Structures are given as C-alpha cells and as structure tokens.
C-alpha cells in the first residue's frame, strides 16, 4: 500500500469525485487549516451535532447493539459550537467522500484541537465507501472547547493498494451513503451473536 500525495489526491478528486467539495490548496490563514496537504486532506466540520445526553436513570450501560437507547440532544451551530466539559458528541464532515475500489483512508485528529484537550476519533474509510464522515468528539477538560464550523477538524490519509475481493460498497455496508449529518451507531439485523 502506498500513501497518496497531494497530486494523487487532487487527481482522484478531479477525475473520480473522491472528495466534494474539494479545497485545491491548503487554507490556513485566520482559520483552523483545511484542504489538501502534502500527504493528506484536512476536512472541515459541519454545523449539526448530536451530543450524548447522560441520564443515569435511563441508561446504566451504553450498548452499541442497542443504540436506540442512547439519548442525544440535537444541536445546530452557526459559526462555532462550544462542546461542554467532559462531554461527547457526534459531528460530520462538510466534505462528501467517494472512495475508489483500491483506496482506503485512516482519519486522525488535528494537532490544533488535540493541544486544546479535544480527542477526535474517526473510523477508517474503507475502499468503496461513500458519504459524509461521522466524526466522534470528546472534550477531556473541565471547561468547554470551542469547535469552529466550516474549518478543519481532522485529516484523512489515503492509501492505495490492489482492489479487494469485496469492497464496502459490494457488501452494502451499514454506513454507506451517509448524509450531511451525524449518524449514530447501527447494527444490521441478524448481526447479534447472543
């Protein structure tokens, strides 16, 4: 597998629509940077959030196989969103991704936010996956952290390899085609092994 550089990422964005909208240069003056970088793409944070609402009386344990029991507060922000102290939220990328059959991506948080106490977790973008990426955000501090809408939040590193036997699209993955909003945990019917 080879890590793709800025020219290769831009080519895949132009020809195959891998990233849309695509920032053709790295934007960083006066904003938290976004756009194509030497060996990655810094994606921007969308304006809708799902903030987990912890009510111990309703939920003694978070069960990813029964995510309907998790209560989220929906928040729509304008220019920024202040993530409350010690809280967890789901956000999403402004960009929509359409990964080719031979490209996967690993997503990591940006250092600007990491140095302010924000943990950003994103799952891999598998070959053949498409949609807006749901971004998991955790404030590790006892004070709110300000998150800026339409500015950089995390970076995707794209890797190209031989096409797999079965892509994410081939197996009709449960997060395929995510819209421009945070998507909560899902388990496909019949996946439980209890």
Tell me which residues are annotated as active site: 136
Other beta carbons less than 10 A from residue 96's beta carbon: 19
Rounded Cα gap, residues 42 and 35, in angstroms: 5
Render 158-190 in DSSP notation, one character per residue. Answer: EEE-SPPSS-TTTTT-TTTTB-SS-------TT
Nearest to 96 by CA among 21, 158, 16, 8: 21
Q: Are 181 and 131 in contact (CB under 8 A)?
A: no
Rounded Cα gap, residues 32 and 152, in angstroms: 5
Nearest to 39 by CA among 26, 20, 22: 26
Looking up tokens 């209890």 gives: 194
Torsion angle (degrees, nearest 10) of CA 89, 92, 98, 103: -50
Structure token pair of residue 124: 């891999």
């Amino acid at each position: 597998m080879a890590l793709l550089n800025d020219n290769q990422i831009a080519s895949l964005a132009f020809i195959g629509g891998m990233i849309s909208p695509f920032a053709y240069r790295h934007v960083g003056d006066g904003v938290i940077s976004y756009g194509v970088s030497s060996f990655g793409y810094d994606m921007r944070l969308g304006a809708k959030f799902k903030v987990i609402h912890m009510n111990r009386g309703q939920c003694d344990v978070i069960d990813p196989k029964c995510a309907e029991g998790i209560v989220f507060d929906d928040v729509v922000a304008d220019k920024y969103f202040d993530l409350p102290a010690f809280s967890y939220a789901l956000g999403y990328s402004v960009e929509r991704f359409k990964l080719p059959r031979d490209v996967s991506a690993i997503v990591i948080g940006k250092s600007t936010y990491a140095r302010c106490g924000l943990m950003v977790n994103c799952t891999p973008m598998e070959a053949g996956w498409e949609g807006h990426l749901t971004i998991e955000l955790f404030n590790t501090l006892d004070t709110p952290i300000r998150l800026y809408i339409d500015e950089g939040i995390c970076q995707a590193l794209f890797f190209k390899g031989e096409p797999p036997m079965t892509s994410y699209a081939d197996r009709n993955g449960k997060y395929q085609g995510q819209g421009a909003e945070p998507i909560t945990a899902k388990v496909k019917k019949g996946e439980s092994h209890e």
